[in-house]
Amino acid sequence: MHDNVPARPAEAFRQRLLSRKALLGSFIKTPTVHATEILGDLGFDFVVVDEEHAPFDRGQTELILLAARAAATAAIVRVPEIDRILGALDDGAAGVLVPHISTAGRAREAAAACRYRGGRRGFSNSPRAGRYGGLGIWPHVDRQDAHVSLIAMIEDPEALGEIDVILATEGLDAVFIGRGDLTVALQAESPDAPPVQAAVETICAAAGRAGKPVCMMVASAAEAKRYHALGASAFIIASDQAFMRKAATESLGSFSKEFAA
């Protein structure tokens, strides 16, 4: 057994997240490897494979995780359900983003699914995460428990009253503020509306008290700077689809303008 293999760049993601380094990432909505390779090549710190809102099966996710490894970027999987965590981690995800963590009980359930020691993660060192059997039982357990990140999505109003208890969950590394769902749930006009901003400030303040990182999706560098001042440190700045749509819209507009005359 080759237990003393060096850590790969993606395995450093959890430490960078916990140290609140400024990290930039993108959602991956298209079930192909190419966008992940491009984003990794450009220097993105991480990508989030969106199994919740995009048409991924496990095989497609597994290939994107391989592409992330090839591009030396960290790949997080947004799972639709807690029971999808095991497959994502076995296939080599640097961590998981778990939606709708609205109670401490659900936070504990997600944490247990991510951890061997103190949790209930089913053991196998035969998938990619265990180097296809190249890591022994306990070296694999140690590496996974040390490197896997659990990020809880706070996107329900009921979570706000329980936010301190949620953040105190053993094994929970960070929170992601889901402003879209909060906007809809609060029936606010936009993510910038006062009720949503008040929720963001409540979550950021609680995370600061708990010493936990905050992740957010932002529309601009100025918005990222504003939320960084509140304590956020990891930012999703778009998705592969959004990048393509923006570039295509700009190119189409430019060419159409030239030929309109």
User: Per-domain residue ranges for the chain?
Assistant: 9-260
Angle (nearest 5°) at CA 168 between 165 and 173:
130
Kindly report the pTM of this predicted structure.
0.95
Fold designation for 9-260: TIM Barrel (3.20.20)
Q: What is the per-residue pLDDT for 4?
A: 60
Q: What is the pLDDT of residue 2?
A: 52
As a whole number of angstroms, the distance between CA 7 and CA 17 comes to 16
pLDDT reported for residue 260: 81
What is the rounded CA–CA span in Å between residue 49 and residue 93? 9
**Residue from 153, 152, 211, 215 nearest 185 by CA:** 153
Q: What is the structure's pLDDT at 1?
A: 44
Residues of the chain with pLDDT under 50: 1
Query: What pLDDT, on the 0 to 100 scale, is given for residue 11?
Result: 80
Kindly list the distances between the CA atom of residue 233 and the CA atoms of 17, 57, 153, 198, 199, in Å, as whole numbers in the listed order.
8, 30, 15, 18, 17
d(CA 47, CA 29): 10
Q: Which two tokens stand for residue 171?
A: 């094994």
Predicted pLDDT at 183 = 99
pLDDT in the model for residue 9: 62
pLDDT value of position 112: 99
